[in-house]
Homo-oligomer: A and B are copies of this chain.
């Protein structure tokens, strides 16, 4: 049995070892090629490592978005978060990229917190639970340095007034058969979950409504969200909006063997509110691509391709390509052992958390500056 067949990628479940090439085929998206990388360089002025290293690796009309931007046509960014737990490093990977794009392009970002979805999905969640998580998640988001003048947070339940009319127009175009097929629902799914996708789709069209002019929207997000965008693109034209465009990321792996970083395995996830020392411990206890003994490692070399520690350098903690390459070769060649490699990552992670948690304290009072309801 192929390992690929064990992997499950839906907006609510990502399990097993993911074959990203297979997802391109299954979801019907395009791989980011040299062409899109060069277009990024032309339009944005530089290429973020998350693109050049293939973390953002697939897309739908990312090139169209860049060309529209270059032509001076109205554009906006959109991404979001389901507040089902504390924010971990895996969550912020697309946010870091989104912030880079926003800084470079100077355009608005609409950021949706889907409190309704998470309340509806998790049997035991109360509204107070998701409210409290939403607030904490917002604080993590704004602590990353987003521009409050250009970053507009939508909290579904509180800001439903911005979305419901769009949602109703969207809902009229989608039957239960369709949503069942696209989202994997069944007859036991509650009717809130069945309707919810209209709200995630609605934000694709919201900038056009708020600006009063045709606006091309780019959504940087993890690839598991693709079913929403597929639906959104199917109905966009008939509703009078440009098709939303996407750039899809791979998942940051957890610190264990295989699978994405997940809140349900807290010992393999680095949360943004983890005490730095705890995070350091988690890194030091990480699975690696190393050999059973230092001696064997020196002789045979390690395997960075399956190593989460290496992946963290690649995806988040080593900006310089030359340094990353050096680390890769030294690991393969056996001159870099897992101990020092993990230790250095632990330092960088801890340093990041210390700084983040400092900013976090003052960010608590700045939430209002980011809420869409205070601006549009």
A residues engaging B (CB < 8 A)?
A: 116, 119-120, 127, 157, 160-161, 164-165, 167-169, 171-177, 179-180, 185-195, 197-198
| Closest B residue to A121 using CB positions | B172
State the CA gap A119–B161 with chains docked (Å).
17
Q: Establish whether residues B187 and A175, one from each chain, have CB atoms under 8 Å apart when the complex forms.
A: yes
A161 and B165 alpha carbons, distance in the complex (Å): 12
Q: Which residue of B lies closest to A178 (CB)?
A: B191
A194 is contacted by which of B116, B157, B160, B191 (Cβ under 8 Å)?
B191
Judge whether A188 and B177 touch: CB under 8 Å: yes
Which of B168, B176, B185 touches A189 (beta carbons < 8 Å)?
Answer: B176
Could you tell me the distance between the alpha carbons of A194 and B189 in the complex, rounded to whole angstroms?
12
Closest 7 CB pairs of A and B: A171-B192, A195-B195, A160-B164, A177-B187, A161-B161, A176-B187, A171-B191
Task: Using CB atoms, name the residue of chain B closest to A185.
Answer: B176
Contacts of A176 in B (CB 8 A): 176, 185-191, 194
Nearest residue, chain B, Cβ from A167: B192
**What are the residues of chain B within 8 A of A187 when measuring CB–CB?**
175-177, 180
Interface centre among A164, A172, A173, A191 (most CB of B within 10 A): A191
How far, in whole Å, are A189 and B171 apart by their CA atoms in the complex?
10
Pick the contact of A119: B116, B168, B175, B193 (CB < 8 A): B168
A190 to B170, CA, bound (A): 10
A345 to chain B, nearest CB (A): 41
- In the complex, what distance in Å separates the CA atom of A354 from the CA atom of B124? 58
- Look across to chain B and name the residue whose beta carbon is closest to the beta carbon of A116: B168
Which residues of chain B come closer than 8 Å to A169, judged between CB atoms?
A: 127
What are 5 A-B contacts with C-beta separation under 8 Å? A157-B165, A160-B160, A167-B192, A175-B187, A176-B185
CB distance from A354 to the nearest CB of B (A): 38
From A189, which residue of chain B is reached at the shortest CB distance?
A: B176
A164:B165 contact, CB within 8 angstroms: no
Q: Given the interface contacts A119-B168, A120-B171, does A179 sit within 8 Å of B157 by beta carbon?
A: no
The docked-state distance in angstroms from the alpha carbon of A171 to that of B157 is 13
Q: Distance (Å) between the CB of A114 and the closest chain B CB?
A: 11
